Amino acid sequence: MLCKGMGVSQSAYYDWLKRPGKLIAAEELTLRRRMKELFKRSRSSLGSREMMKKLREEGFEIGRYRVRKLMAQMKLVVRQRVAYKVTTKRNFSDSVADNLLNQNFNPTGPNQVWAGDVTYCRTGEGWMYLAVVMDLYSRRIVGWHIDKRMTADLVSKALMKAYNLRNPPSGLVFHSDRGSQYTSRRYRKLLDSYQMRASMGDVGACWDNAVVERFFGSLKHDWLLKIPQPTREHMKKDVAEYMRYYNLERLHTANGDKTPVDYENELKKVSGFS
């Protein structure tokens, strides 16, 4: 009766009973459990390359081929991202700054070049808008603010938080697009008060702020879109959780496979930077 209900023959069932059970070594079991934990922690966004790096960082001796094989066996499948959309638009009555960056996203030290941008996040209660400030040296998010309105106040508060956290020297370059929030008189005055130099990308050139746009892609499609976002308050807490994960746990190829915080701490050990 059970065989009929499961759709298998009686001979196949008795053949299965005679087979010896497959034993999994303790080391293999530990490895598989850790892979599942890392994959879950990343909200199913950790591919085989990054999984291998995380495991090696924790002391596992493993290659990418084996990681791919184990991920396939455990059905740890990464979902593909969708394209990033530009949200900010220029107000042509405002002045724009020259492009001081020219797609050079690798400054030689912290607090030399920051980049900022705005993206939208959908919740069950309506849209939320997120402004971030990234230090391009380590790819660390040093300031951010989220609100239900996309105004100059949104980007200003993100910059204020970054400035209060880092207290950078004068002359720092702040790069953004030509959205009205960044070209507004209020924001330009804030940059001047912090003795920062404004830099802006060309119109329609998404690659002029590619590093921040990649961050938004990871935030949304590796994190926020993996679970329901019923309320604005839930979204705020979830964004804060990703900021911690991104800065403290997520490995970056540009940082030599270190997290942003670890990359900066490594510089402090070598050069005494503070």
**Has this prediction a pTM greater than 0.75?**
yes
Token pair, residue 135, equals 């230090």
Return the pLDDT at 181: 93
- For 94, what's the count of Cα atoms within 13 Å in the CB-facing half-sphere? 20
**What average pLDDT values come out for the chain (274 residues) when binned by 10 residues?**
81 75 79 93 91 93 94 86 49 71 83 95 96 97 97 96 97 93 94 96 65 93 93 97 96 93 88 55
Q: Is there a contact between 200 and 182 (Cβ–Cβ < 8 Å)?
A: yes
Rounded to an integer, what distance in angstroms lies between the CA atom of residue 39 and that of residue 36? 5
Rounded to an integer, what distance in angstroms lies between the CA atom of residue 189 and that of residue 195? 10
CA-nearest of 80, 87, 49 to 212 is 87
Rounded to an integer, what distance in angstroms lies between the CA atom of residue 115 and that of residue 175? 5
Return the pLDDT at 84: 44
Those residues whose C-beta lies under 8 Å from the C-beta of residue 261, and which sit 6 or more positions away, are 138, 140, 247, 248
Q: How does DSSP assign 142-211, residue by residue?
A: EEEEEESS-SHHHHHHHHHHHHHHH-PPTT-EEEE---HHHHSHHHHHHHHHTTPEEEEPPTT-GGGGHH
- β-pairing verdict for 126-135 and 113-123: antiparallel
Range list of H helices, 58-136: 64-73
**Phi and psi torsions of 249, nearest 5°:** -125, -30
Return the pLDDT at 268: 80
Token pair, residue 141, equals 């998010």
Neighbours of 88 (CB within 10 A): 21
